[in-house]
Amino acid sequence: MAIGHASDEPGFSRRSFLARVGATGGAGAMFATMGALGLAPSAEAATKTPFQPPRPSDFSLRGRGAAKVVVLGAGIAGLTAAYELGKAGYNVTILEAQDRVGGRNRTLRGGDKLTEIGGATQHIGFSKGQYMNAGPARIAQWMTTMDYCRELGVPLEVFTNSNADAYIYNESAGMTAPVRWRTAKADVYGYISELLAKATDQGALDQRLTATDKERLISFLTSFGAIRGRADGFAYRGTDGRRGYSVNPGAGHTSGTVLGPVPSLSEVLASGVGLRFSFEFGYSQAMLMFQPVGGMDQIPRALAQAIGHGKIRTGSKVTKITNLARGVRVEYQKNGRTSVLEADYCIATLPPHILAKIPHNLGANVQAALATPVPESTGKIGLEYRRRWWEEDEGIYGGITNTDLDLSTIWYPSSGYGSGGRGVVIGYYNFGGNADRYAAMTHADRLRRALDQGAKIHGEKYRQGVASSASIAWTRQPHIEGGWIGWPSRGAEYALLNEPQGNVYFSGDWLSYEIAWQHGAFESARKVVTELHQRVLKG
Ligand code: PHE
């Protein structure tokens, strides 16, 4: 997956200033400086990109009028651009090819119809109250998405991204049964600690460590890996409860039976479980994470409500974009009829590979730039079970099982915990070649394969009790044709599309450093709204 990584903002920020103080003066100097700035004792938080929404007074004070803007696409970027411009009274119209808003932010519920390119159609049969987030499904606390949820009154709940009781399953390493994350971590941390403590104690790191460093490192490793003392060679034995229990501790003399047998160091390395750990260290994947109560589409719903449904023309597919000396002209088709909309400015938020198919007069460089990003494949299947067996039988309340099977991950629902009712498990959420493989199948075949693969982890019951299911292959979604895009590099093409081309602006997560996150779309929309508004104010 070629997903962009956020890099530090260049230039002088409060954060880089403090980092420099920290580098030269040590933690004490940094803390003192923070105190002087009024920042201590709370820990440093990253600076958010400042944003001031356009206000009606911006116009009344300068004697200028709000412009007319046509927004292409009612995904998160398009809706946000319209919402923010609307705050100052801009005359905004959104053209959306689909009959719904949200773009890739889509929650599937009973009664929904899901049609793929080629015509295959699923009539979603989830029971009342059950749903799957087919697109975005998790939000990190630092993301701008959280700020929009607060502003729009969208209630949030915890999304369980990592769970010690969910599983890791690496079939190619010869595993015949899944391992709980907690067990995998106990063994990997334990053996790594044993090795490092031994090497440290035997002097292998004397070039790097003082005698005090060595003692402190060994005391850390003893706690981190739950290893024995020097007399026992710092051995990892896996005998404390970290691995989990085969008989839980209970009353009276039931002290519990620690899960065994403990695999050897060599077996643990061969299992590859440790290679899974780093995902939850990432800035955008670390717990706590959040989801809107009732489905991710509460966000576009609230945005559309705030914008006003009258300003959103659904079923309207853009067929031509013409930049004019003053303004823009957009042609679109609705119900087989071509209409024209003229405006002062256009904000195009469609995916770049879709825009590249629409005739325009923006020039060969723009066309080449739009054709540069590469769409990437991703897909999911939702399995509604009549019984929450993952909770009742396996003690897994939310979280994700990670595998090397082509299903890649299994997600347990982060709502309705312990309700004893139904629940929708995501039976695969995968990327790249794995997603392509499922995308090429009919829904019935996707379901069959997902159940066959998942049964390797959860056993026969996984095949039983599925009340209904729905699958999405994002490369096969009309007007979208991809999960997200990857830039081969953020070169001249990226820079070009981040600038207005005449009266046409581009916006979307694909023009951000958080591709494949709503955060990227929100930030990109704010950037373009700010630039457009400043231009209108200058006249
Ligand atoms: N945001 C998507 C997710 O949460 C896609 C993604 C995956 C983005 C991994 C970055 C890293 O799964």
Mutate to test the pocket of ligand 1, among 161, 279, 284 (most ligand atoms within 8 A of CB): 284
pLDDT-based confidence at residue 46 (cuts at 50, 70, 90): confident
Bridge partner list, 328: 323, 343
Q: Is the pLDDT of residue 133 over 60?
A: yes
pLDDT exceeds 90 at position 539? no
pLDDT digits (tens, 9 = 90+) for 518-538: 999 999 999 999 999 999 999
Q: Are strands 167-169 and 399-403 parallel, antiparallel or unpaired?
A: parallel
> What mean pLDDT is predicted for residues 22-33?
46
Mean pLDDT in the chain?
A: 93
Determine the length of the chain: 539
Residue 472 has pLDDT above 90, yes or no: yes
Q: How far is the CA of 287 from the centre of ligand 1 (A)?
A: 14
Distance set, CA 146 to CA 142, 150, 291, 414, 516 (Å): 7, 6, 9, 17, 16
What's the average model confidence in pLDDT over 454-481?
97
Residue 1 Cα to ligand 1 middle (Å):
9
Tell me the CA–centroid distance for residue 233 and ligand 1, in Å.
42
Contact 328, 504 (CB under 8 A): yes
Q: Give the 3-state secondary structure percentages of the chain, helix then strand then coil, rounded to 5.
A: 35, 20, 40
Q: How far is residue 248's CA from residue 264's CA, in Å, rounded to a whole number?
A: 24
Does the pLDDT value for residue 1 go beyond 50?
no
DSSP designation for 277: G
Cβ neighbour number for residue 528 with a 10 Å cutoff: 27
Please state the atom number of ligand 1 nearest to the C-alpha of residue 137. 4
Are the C-beta atoms of 382 and 132 separated by less than 8 Å?
A: yes
State the average pLDDT over residues 24-51: 64
* Nearest alpha carbon, ligand 1 atom 7: 516
Report how far ligand 1's centroid is from the alpha carbon of 516 (Å). 6
Residue to substitute in 3, 276, 431 for testing ligand 1 pocket (most ligand atoms within 8 angstroms of CB): 3
Q: Which residues contact ligand 1 via a Cβ below 6 A? A: 3, 138, 516-517
Query: Using CA atoms, how far apart are residues 481 and 379, in angstroms rounded to an integer?
Result: 12
**Mean pLDDT for the stretch of residues 383-402:** 98
Read off the pLDDT of residues 424-435 as tens digits, 9 standing for 90 and up: 999 999 999 999
Cis, bond preceding 288 (omega within 30 deg of 0): yes
- Ligand 1 atom with the smallest distance to the CA of 483 is 5
Of the chain, the percentage scoring pLDDT greater than 90 comes to 89
> pTM for the full model?
0.92
- Which of 139, 142, 285 has most ligand 1 atoms within 8 Å of CB, for mutation? 285
Average pLDDT estimate for 361-387: 98
Give me the phi and psi of 400, to 5 degrees please: -135, 135
pLDDT at 22: 38
Q: What is the pLDDT of residues 150-209, one digit of tens each?
A: 999 999 999 999 999 999 999 999 999 999 999 999 999 999 999 999 999 999 999 999
502 Ramachandran zone, left/alpha/beta (phi>0; psi -120 to 50): left
Average pLDDT over residues 483-491: 97
- Flag whether pLDDT at 33 surpasses 80: no
